Amino acid sequence: MDYRDAGVDVEAGRAFVDRIRDRVQRTFRPEVLGGLGGFGGCFQLPTGYREPVLISGTDGVGTKLKIAHQMDRHGTVGIDLVAMCVNDVLTAGAEPLFFLDYVATGKLLPEQLAAVVDGIAEGCERAGCALLGGETAEMPGFYGAGEYDLAGFCVAIAEKSELITGDRVAVGDVAIALPSSGVHSNGFSLARRVAEVAGLGWGDRVADLGDRPLGEVLLEPTTIYVKPILAILKAGLSVHGMAHITGGGLPENLPRCLGANQSVQVDLGSWTPPPIFDWIARTGEVPPAAMFNTFNMGVGFVVIVAPEDRDRALDLLRAEHLDPWVLGSVVAGEGGVLGLPA
């Protein structure tokens, strides 16, 4: 017997690395030292920082991958993987420098995983960070046929004196929302269950969701907010806090960027969530409070700015091809989000 008899094709793994090499190297920044294939990736710190601080983050894509597996569509989940990591470290006001991925699969299917890595590289390009390296593990008997799991790891940099920690947030500050592209990468266990109970397949079309199949709507990749946010930071605006709206929605994530004895009063009428959320709520008979505690409900990222910078921040974000709006304001409180369904 050899390793191939046990289900692991070493030669396929080598061929896979060769296949993705050019795509990965297109993401490299000038600070990357060396090429792909070493035991570790080397990255030289950018110049110009007095007290550089590195901020790291890690995340996955979750059960959204089940839809990608079942639809055999793998080109966007890599973008999700990058987005979930870089949007998190971005909340500290940090610029993502490099990204690493971990891909585990039952059997290495080169075309399938090349599509995944292509999405990861696309996400890195959108975020302006290098895909510095990664690991592909072939684990026969652990994952089902055609299945894989993803994990991502990001390192970012910020000037210590310019870190955004929430300690500057003040009552009267304005919360500006940036739109999500849809469900992003959280709440998919509930979304999948709703579709299952409704007897719908991922290729089925739902009248309220336009011409695209349900699975395609749900696979819409997570928005990467790095370049728009870095633009307003470089413009010198008084950004006091930021929140990436992921699992737990606004109630769980928005208070994470507030100071003690502060809340955010949200204007629930200031936006209309994308149709996919209305479809999930109606089809699954999900109460409004449960929807807001599970999904982003159309709010992907929140920036808290001083009131005098509100209009300029909105203008700059619109110039970055986003459609921001005033979500609410910071008020005295006990750390919650006011104005949402109870």
Final residue before a domain boundary, out of 101, 130, 162: 162
Q: pLDDT, tens digit, for every residue of 10-56?
A: 777 777 777 788 888 889 999 999 877 778 899 999 999 999 999 99
Pairing status of strand 262-266 against strand 174-179: unpaired
pLDDT reported for residue 42: 93
**107 plus 222 within the same structural domain:** no
Residue 184 and residue 312 in one domain:
yes
Domain count, the chain: 2
Cα–Cα distance for residue pair 252/290, rounded to 1 Å: 12
Give a yes or no: residue 1 inside a domain: no
Q: What tokens appear for 256 in the block?
A: 């994470």
**Do 132 and 70 have their domain in common?**
yes
DSSP 19-36: HHHHHHHTT--TTEES-T
CB contact at 8 A, 332 and 263: yes
Q: To the nearest whole percent, how much of the chain has pLDDT over 70?
A: 98
Q: Residue 37 has which token pair?
A: 């294939």
CB distance 90 to 229 below 8 Å: yes
What was the pLDDT predicted at 192?
Answer: 97
In a domain, 248, yes or no: yes
* Residue 80 binned pLDDT confidence (cut-offs 50, 70, 90): very high
Q: What is the pLDDT of residue 2?
A: 62
Stretch 64-91: mean pLDDT: 97
What per-residue confidence (pLDDT) applies to 118? 96
From the list 48, 78, 31, the residue with the least C-alpha distance to 185 is 78
Which position has the higher pLDDT, 161 or 12?
A: 161
Please check the confidence at residue 181 and state whether its pLDDT lies above 90. yes
The CATH number covering residue 180 comes to 3.90.650.10
* Structure confidence at residue 58 (pLDDT): 98
One domain, residues 146 and 200: no
Q: Which two tokens stand for residue 159?
A: 């000037």
Among 162, 187, 204, the domain-final residue is: 162
Question: Quick one: 248 and 134 in the same domain?
Answer: no
Domain that holds residue 136: 10-162
Do residues 300 and 225 make contact, with C-beta atoms less than 8 angstroms apart? yes
169 in a domain, yes or no? Answer: no
**Residue 330: pLDDT above 90?**
yes
CA distance 135 to 222: 23
Query: Residue 245 and residue 299: Cα distance in Å, rounded?
Result: 7
Maximum alpha-carbon separation in the chain: 72
Q: Does residue 167 lie within any of the structural domains?
A: no
Give yes or no: residues 246 and 316 share one domain.
yes
User: How far apart, in whole angstroms, are the C-alpha atoms of residue 237 and residue 306?
Assistant: 8
Q: Looking at the structure, do residues 131 and 203 belong to the same domain, yes or no?
A: no
> Of 129, 162, 195, which residue sits at a domain end?
162
Q: Please report the pLDDT score of residue 152 as a whole number.
A: 98
Judge whether residue 3 has pLDDT over 70.
no
Contacts of 18 (CB under 8 A, 6+ apart): none
**313 three-class SS:** helix
Residue 5 pLDDT greater than 70, yes or no:
no
pTM reported for the whole predicted model: 0.95
Query: 226 near 97, Cβ under 8 Å?
Result: no
Nearest in space to 178 (alpha carbons), one of 231, 214, 216: 231
pLDDT above 70 (res 112): yes
Range in 74-83, 138-147, 293-302 with the lowest mean pLDDT: 138-147
The length of the chain is 342
* 130, part of any domain: yes
Report residue 342's pLDDT band, with 50, 70 and 90 as the boundaries.
Answer: confident
Say yes or no: 282 and 306 in one domain. yes
Does residue 107 fall inside a structural domain? yes
Residue 120, in any domain of the structure: yes
Mean pLDDT of 151-160: 98
- The mean of the pLDDT values for the chain is 94
246 domain-assigned: yes
Is residue 212 domain-shared with residue 325, that is, in the same domain?
A: yes
Please tell me whether residues 46 and 129 are part of one structural domain. yes
Q: What pLDDT score does 329 carry?
A: 98
| Residue 326, H or E segment | strand 325-332
Instruction: Name the β-bridge partners of 164.
Output: none
Confidence of residue 262 (pLDDT cuts 50, 70, 90): very high
The pLDDT of residue 175 is 98
CATH number at residue 155: 3.30.1330.10
What are 272-324's pLDDT values in tens digits?
Answer: 999 999 999 999 999 999 999 999 999 999 999 999 999 999 999 999 999 99
Q: Are residues 247 and 183 in the same domain?
A: yes
**Contact of 97 with 129, CB cutoff 8 Å:** yes
Are 119 and 99 in contact by the 8 Å Cβ rule? The answer is no
| Shared-domain flag, residues 18 and 114 | yes
Query: Residue 240: helix, strand or coil by DSSP?
Result: strand
CA–CA dist 239, 178 (Å, integer): 14
